[in-house]
Structure 1
Amino acid sequence: MSATTEQNETTEGHGKAWIMLLLAGLFEIGYALSVGGSQAFTVLTWSISAVIFFLLTLYFLSVALKQIDVGIGYAVWAGIGAIGAAVFGSILLDQPVTLYQGVWLAVIIAGVVWLKLADSKQLNG
């Protein structure tokens, strides 16, 4: 196998890992919203949903962390979950987001973007 082919497979695997991390983040949003809806696990349907989302988020996160450093992967996953829970909690659960919260959520988004860029092969040579 040539070095170019090996590099392409590594890059492709790394890209798939980021897709798995994105899916883990989306399932984390579902988990957070389900836990909120479960009212301390007293509502059965929301509780079941929370358990399912929890298992899915852990599975996809573990798959992603085979290729992505745990510190970067965990930060991105938590950022996606935090942003998504705030946005969708506001929309679906009528939880208000203040201006100050919006500013700090924007900081989280910027941090997640910069972490992804910092992991880029183009930046790291």
Structure 2
Amino acid sequence: MTSPDSRAAWLTLLLAGAFEVGYALSVGGSQGFTVLSWSLVAVVFFLLTLWALSLALRVIEVGIGYAVWAGIGAVGAALLGPIFFDEALTPARAGWLAVIIAGVVWLKLADRPRPS
């Protein structure tokens, strides 16, 4: 069973991942930081994702936390890119995204405390 601190850290890490998706999408919309509104949104998401990630990493090991955070950001941006920016999501890309998702799930499972 996981501790309340561990559960809160994982929820915070998921939130950080969601902010990372927002950051990635807003950077795409900023067109190289040439569109002011998207650029400002990107800065806000950037600060939020770093803040939430730093809170989560107080409890979660940095290697696990960073990998999960990056995986959430990559998968989220790849899945939402076609919706917001008319990008292609091919079957091959979807398959590799599934591999990333499986890796994130296994990393979470690997963070479970071992019985003594």
Identity fraction in percent: 65
Q: TM-score, normalised by structure 1?
A: 0.89
Q: Deviations over 1:24-50 (max 9, x none)?
A: 000000000000000000000000000
Distance 2:82 2:106 in 1: 26
**Which one of the candidate residues 82, 85, 90 is aligned to 1:93?**
85
1:114 partner letter: W
Per-residue CA distance 1:43-102 (angstroms, 9 max, x = gap): 000000000000000000000000000000000000000000001111121111111111
- Give runs of ≥4 in structure 1 deviating > 4 Å: none
Structure 2 residue corresponding to 1:13, chosen from 1, 5, 22: 5
Q: Distance in 1 between matches of 2:5 and 2:83?
A: 35
Q: Confirm or deny that 1:116 pairs with 2:96.
A: no
Cα separation, 2, equivalents of 1:99 and 1:86: 12
Larger of the two Rg values belongs to structure: 1
Q: Verify: 1:70 aligned to 2:59, yes or no.
A: no
CA RMSD of aligned residues (A): 1.2
RCO higher in structure (CA 8 A, sep ≥6): 2
Residues 1:60 and 2:52 aligned together: yes
Partner Cα distance (1:70, 1:94) in 2: 34
Query: Taking structure 2 as the reference length, what is the TM-score of the superposition?
Result: 0.96
Q: 2:75 aligns with which of 83, 87, 90?
A: 83
Q: CA deviation at 1:113?
A: 0.4
Instruction: Determine which of 24, 29, 46 is the counterpart of 1:32.
Output: 24
* Runs of 5+ unmatched residues, structure 1: 1-7
Structure 2 residue runs of 5 or longer lacking an equivalent are none
